[in-house]
């Protein structure tokens, strides 16, 4: 469902940040994307969600060449991808409930039709009591879970999470990982960018995509 | 719910869910109200709507009044009988009036008596002058039938045949000039109207641009969760339409209040001589159904225009972004 072919990325002038990246992500697969800070994990995720264009190579998502997509097609493709951003990107003028419901609203669904769904998911991530709070008063861990809930709500085919345990204690990190594994078992392909080795050790079956010196090494 | 979700309580423990206790969560606007320079947009739109309503109603007022003036004047014509040596002016006046009365389409031919003619000249010549010494022309005022219009050229030929020293004036030069003036006034009002709308469009455009810049973060997040450009543009449109509606109602309401007040004052002035003349010229300043409808239509149009314009600006901006 996701293929990189000889992808290179260069910011401005200088050496390529990403070089000759080749990989394939199968439906219903689970992988960690790892590598030291500054290796290019976030950049690679941005290539997938098309907020960044590669300087060379081909990226194919859901059977479509991303270089050829119109604005409308990009929006359509993104609706199949759930993203948990490193900095959460919650909207402060909306409640937690409204933030999580946003992808469904974008799909044009009516509020009454998804209310139960969203509230169940908020309970599932442990935010049932915080539905009406605004993000500014949430703790780091609560924001993290709200951001995760927003990425899950539309049951995307592909889920990207950028350092989803970066701001939380080990206990919550374990819980969050279990959420992703649960999601994976329900049929979603998952890519988690992390440099947290203990997190990766908790799920040995996962593939590991390792970025080092701009190149990608794959450990099945 | 038929679709099974992995977080659904039927797969977890269902004990802690009590569906009945759900309070209804809100659905806030995606473009926050305080992110738009709302008050200044509303004020600008209110003022522009007020001015546009004024311009439109002045045009309507002048157009209506000029139609009335012209039909009043067109129902009149004057015959002037000039004193000529060797002719009896009294006899000429009677002959001319008689000939006019016989013509179909002429309802009435009233002869101004010598004294009335002199009274007309007095303001120019001053008191204490014996006008019988002067060769004063005599007037016959004709009232014409508006439906069964008389052929002025034939009337003129007929008049000159019976009384060679009589001249017929049907005021057509004056009527034409009056028409030109009214048309120019209406065109000016229309131009002012269009310019006001254009200025308003410019204001809305720059307010929309500013709103998009202020809300860049929100636009980015919406894009990231898969919102199409049209969806985002619609959210801005909704916000601006609401602002436009508020401004338009304020401006339109102000215009209605203005005309109601003007009418009230016109009524009070009517007791004075100047007031009567004003009323003769412009009616009693009343809006009438057409004026009121015009303001209502204008206000709705302004709100819609504001909404659509901001949607267009946002769409164009997003297309360029992509
Ligand atoms: N917008 C940008 N402009 C210029 N350089 C960037 C930009 N974003 C990232 N970089 C550079 O690209 C490299 C990879 O960054 P990033 O993808 O954030 O790595 P990671 O997420 O693995 O920490 C870093 O050297 C960083 O400085
Ligand atoms: Mg990063």
CATH of the domain at A51: 3.40.50.300
| List of residues 6+ apart from B164 with CB closer than 8 A | none
Whether residue A177 is found in the same domain as residue A74: yes
Instruction: Report the complex ipTM.
Output: 0.94
Does a structural domain hold residue A199?
yes
Whether residue A108 is found in the same domain as residue A193: no
pLDDT digits (tens, 9 = 90+) for A17-37: 999 999 999 999 999 999 999
Whether residue A168 is found in the same domain as residue A124: no
Whether residue B270 is found in the same domain as residue B302: yes
Does a structural domain hold residue B5?
no
Whether residue B282 is found in the same domain as residue B158: no
Does a structural domain hold residue B171?
no
Whether residue A70 is found in the same domain as residue A161: yes
Whether residue A47 is found in the same domain as residue A97: no
Whole-number pLDDT of residue A180: 93
Whole-number pLDDT of residue B1: 36
Q: Tell me the backbone φ, ψ of residue B252, rounded to 5 degrees.
A: -65, -45
Domain limit, last residue, from A127, A147, A167? A147
CA distance B218 to B216: 5
Alpha carbon separation from B92 to A7, B81, B118, B169, B220 (Å, rounded): 109, 7, 18, 17, 93
Does a structural domain hold residue A172?
yes
CA distance B238 to A155: 29
Domain limit, last residue, from B105, B129, B164? B164
Does a structural domain hold residue B229?
yes
Cβ pair A74, B222 in contact under 8 A: no
Whether residue B27 is found in the same domain as residue B146: no
Count structural domains, chain B.
2
Whether residue B189 is found in the same domain as residue B276: yes
H or E stretch at B39: helix B38-74
pLDDT digits (tens, 9 = 90+) for B122-161: 777 776 666 666 777 888 888 888 777 778 888 888 888 8
Report how far ligand 2's centroid is from the alpha carbon of A38 (Å): 7
CA distance B271 to B300: 38
Q: Which two tokens stand for residue B232?
A: 């985002």
Among all ligands shown, which has an atom nearest to the Cα of A17? 1
Whether residue A140 is found in the same domain as residue A161: no
Its domain, for residue B294, covers 11-70+176-321
Cβ pair B305, B247 in contact under 8 A: no
Unique residue bearing structure tokens 């008050």: B39
Q: Which residue of A has its CA nearest to B234?
A: A106
Phi-psi category of residue B50: left, alpha or beta, with phi > 0 → left and psi -120 to 50 → alpha: alpha
Q: Indicate yes or no: CB of B8 within 8 angstroms of CB of A120.
A: yes
Does a structural domain hold residue A39?
yes
Query: What is this structure's pTM?
Result: 0.79
Whole-number pLDDT of residue B19: 46
Whether residue A194 is found in the same domain as residue A99: no
- As a dihedral over the C-alpha atoms of residue A63, residue A64, residue A66, residue A68, rounded to 10 degrees, the angle is 160
CB contact, 8 Å: B148 with chain A? no
Residue pairs between chains A and B whose CB atoms are closer than 8 Å: 105
CB-CB neighbors (< 8 A) of A91 in chain B: 30, 217-218, 221
Unique residue bearing structure tokens 């304020």: B250
pLDDT exceeds cutoff 50 at B102: yes
Domain limit, last residue, from A129, A147, A165? A147
Count structural domains, chain A.
2
Among all ligands shown, which has an atom nearest to the Cα of A34? 1
Whether residue A95 is found in the same domain as residue A37: no
Report how far ligand 2's centroid is from the alpha carbon of A174 (Å): 20
Does a structural domain hold residue B1?
no
CB contact, 8 Å: B135 with chain A? no
Confidence of residue B2 (pLDDT cuts 50, 70, 90): very low
Confidence of residue B113 (pLDDT cuts 50, 70, 90): confident
Whether residue A30 is found in the same domain as residue A128: no
Domain limit, last residue, from B112, B143, B164? B164
Whether residue A63 is found in the same domain as residue A101: no
Report how far ligand 1's centroid is from the alpha carbon of A38 (Å): 6
Q: Name which of B7, B32, B223 is nearest A120 (Cβ-Cβ).
A: B7
Whether residue B98 is found in the same domain as residue B18: no
Whether residue B127 is found in the same domain as residue B262: no
Q: Per DSSP, what are the bridge partners of residue B141? A: B78, B110
pLDDT exceeds cutoff 80 at B288: no
pLDDT digits (tens, 9 = 90+) for B175-226: 788 888 888 988 998 899 899 999 999 999 999 999 999 999 999 999 999 9
Distance from CA of B41 to the nearest CA of A (A): 21
Whether residue B184 is found in the same domain as residue B160: no
Q: Is the CB of A39 under 6 A from ligand 1?
A: yes
Confidence of residue B66 (pLDDT cuts 50, 70, 90): confident
Whether residue B192 is found in the same domain as residue B296: yes
Whether residue B197 is found in the same domain as residue B97: no
Whether residue B198 is found in the same domain as residue B311: yes
CB contact, 8 Å: B7 with chain A? yes
Does a structural domain hold residue B56?
yes
Whole-number pLDDT of residue B22: 52
DSSP label of B23? P
CA A8: distance to chain centroid? 21
Whole-number pLDDT of residue B217: 93
Alpha carbons within 13 A on the beta-carbon side of B115: 0
DSSP label of B269? H
Whole-number pLDDT of residue B15: 42
Whether residue B194 is found in the same domain as residue B140: no
Q: Residue-wise pLDDT tens for chain A (220 aa)?
A: 999 999 999 998 888 999 999 999 999 999 999 999 999 999 999 999 999 999 999 999 999 999 999 999 999 999 999 999 999 999 999 999 999 999 999 999 999 999 999 999 999 899 999 999 999 999 999 999 999 999 999 999 999 999 999 878 888 899 899 989 999 999 999 999 998 888 999 998 999 999 999 999 998 8
Q: Which two tokens stand for residue B77?
A: 């014509």
Q: Per DSSP, what are the bridge partners of residue A209? A: A33, A218
Domain limit, last residue, from B164, B188, B205? B164
Does a structural domain hold residue B75?
no
Q: Is the CB of A27 under 6 A from ligand 1?
A: no
Does a structural domain hold residue A67?
yes
CB-CB neighbors (< 8 A) of A131 in chain B: 25
Whole-number pLDDT of residue A70: 93
Distance from CA of A14 to the nearest CA of B (A): 26
Whether residue B222 is found in the same domain as residue B292: yes
Does a structural domain hold residue A85?
no
Does a structural domain hold residue B169?
no
Whether residue A6 is found in the same domain as residue A74: yes
Its domain, for residue A201, covers 2-80+156-219
Nearest to B208 by CA among B36, B11, B14, B65: B36
- Of the residues A106, A121, A185, the best mutation for testing chain B's interface (the one with the most B CB atoms within 10 Å of its CB) is A106
Does a structural domain hold residue B76?
no
Whether residue A71 is found in the same domain as residue A100: no
Whole-number pLDDT of residue B17: 44
CB-CB neighbors (< 8 A) of A49 in chain B: 224
Q: Which of residues 213-242 of B touch A (CB under 8 A)?
A: 217-218, 220-229, 231
Distance from CA of B267 to the nearest CA of A (A): 54
The three-state (H, E, C) secondary structure of A22-81, written as one string: EEEECCCCEEEEECCCCCCHHHHHHHHCCCCCCCEEEEEECCEEHHHCCHHHHHHHHCCE
């Amino acid at each position: 469902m996701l293929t990189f072919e000889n992808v290179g990325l260069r910011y401005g002038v200088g050496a390529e940040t990403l070089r000759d990246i080749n990989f394939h992500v199968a439906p219903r697969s689970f992988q960690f994307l790892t590598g030291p800070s500054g290796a290019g994990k976030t950049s690679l995720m941005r290539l997938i969600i098309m907020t960044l264009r590669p300087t060379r190579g081909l990226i194919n998502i859901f059977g479509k060449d991303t270089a050829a997509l119109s604005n409308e097609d990009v929006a359509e493709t993104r609706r199949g991808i759930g993203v948990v951003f490193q900095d959460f990107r919650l909207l402060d003028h909306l409640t937690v409930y409204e933030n999580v419901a946003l992808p469904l609203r974008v799909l044009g669904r009516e509020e009454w039709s998804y209310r139960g769904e969203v509230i169940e998911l908020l309970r599932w991530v442990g935010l049932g009591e915080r539905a009406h709070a605004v993000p500014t008063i949430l703790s780091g861990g609560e924001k993290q879970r709200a951001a995760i809930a927003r990425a899950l709500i539309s049951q995307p085919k592909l889920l990207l999470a950028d350092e989803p345990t970066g701001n939380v204690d080990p206990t919550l990190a374990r819980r969050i990982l279990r959420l992703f594994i649960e999601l994976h078992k329900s049929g979603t392909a998952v890519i988690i960018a992390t440099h947290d080795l203990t997190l990766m050790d908790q799920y040995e079956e996962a593939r590991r995509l390792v970025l080092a010196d701009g190149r990608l090494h794959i450990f099945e | 719910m038929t679709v099974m979700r992995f977080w659904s309580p039927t797969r977890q423990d269902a004990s802690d869910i009590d569906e009945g206790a759900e309070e209804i969560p809100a659905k806030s606007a995606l473009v926050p109200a305080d992110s738009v320079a709302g008050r200044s947009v509303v004020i600008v739109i209110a003022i522009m709507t007020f001015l546009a309503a004024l311009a439109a109603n002045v045009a309507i007022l002048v157009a209506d009044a000029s139609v009335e003036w012209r039909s009043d004047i067109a129902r009149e014509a004057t015959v002037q009988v000039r004193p000529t040596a060797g002719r009896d002016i009294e006899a000429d006046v009677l002959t001319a009036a008689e000939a006019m009365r016989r013509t179909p389409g002429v309802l009435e031919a009233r002869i101004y008596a010598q004294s009335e003619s002199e009274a007309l000249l007095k303001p120019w010549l001053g008191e204490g002058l014996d006008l019988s010494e002067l060769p004063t022309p005599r007037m016959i005022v004709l009232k014409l039938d508006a439906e069964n219009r008389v052929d002025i050229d034939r009337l003129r030929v007929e008049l000159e045949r019976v009384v060679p020293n009589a001249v017929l004036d049907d005021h057509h030069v004056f009527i034409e000039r009056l028409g030109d003036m009214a048309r120019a006034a209406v065109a000016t009002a229309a131009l002012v109207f269009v310019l006001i709308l254009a200025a308003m469009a410019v204001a809305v455009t720059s307010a929309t641009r500013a709103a998009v810049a202020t809300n860049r973060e929100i636009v980015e997040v919406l894009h990231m969760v898969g919102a199409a450009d049209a969806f985002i543009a619609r959210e801005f449109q909704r916000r601006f339409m609401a602002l436009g509606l508020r401004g338009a109602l304020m401006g339109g309401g102000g215009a209605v209040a203005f005309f109601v007040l003007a009418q009230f004052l016109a009524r009070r002035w009517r007791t004075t001589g100047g007031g009567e003349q004003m009323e003769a010229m412009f009616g009693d300043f009343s809006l009438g159904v057409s004026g009121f409808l015009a303001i209502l239509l204008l206000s709705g149009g302004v709100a819609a225009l504001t909404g659509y314009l901001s949607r267009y600006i946002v769409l164009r901006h997003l297309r360029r972004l992509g």
